[in-house]
Amino acid sequence: MRVDVHLPDLGEDSDEAIIVSGWLAKLGSPLKEGEDLLELTTDKAAFSLPAPRDGVLTELRVHDGDTIKVGDVVCIFEV
């Protein structure tokens, strides 16, 4: 089953984030729920986006330096 991973609601009046360190997970890697996928920053905080469930990272939709908005698909998982 294919799962789209979206940038979640960031709270604190932030609606976008910048990818600062590229992907921490590698394409084709099996991942466990909660493992960090990539690092992001907003104008208020830095954080990591975790894997939503166990699966394999099959497609990257964003890259280092990209600005993404809440709801944007950042990657695709196969579970």
- Side-chain-side CA neighbours of 46 within 13 Å: the count stands at 5
Tell me: pLDDT of 13 over 90.
no
Q: Is residue 74's pLDDT more than 90? A: yes
Domains of the chain: 2-78 (2.40.50.100)
State how far the Cα of 79 lies from the Cα of 3, in Å rounded to an integer. 7
Largest CA distance in the chain: 35
Flag whether pLDDT at 5 surpasses 90.
yes
Distance CA 74, CA 11 (A): 18
Q: Give the residue-averaged pLDDT of 18-26.
A: 91
Tokens of 18: 């910048």
Segment 42-58, tens digit of pLDDT: 988 889 999 999 999 99
Average pLDDT, the chain: 92
Mean pLDDT value of segment 26-35: 94
Spatial neighbors of 19 by CB under 8 A, at least 6 apart, are 38, 39, 40, 62, 63, 64, 65, 66, 68
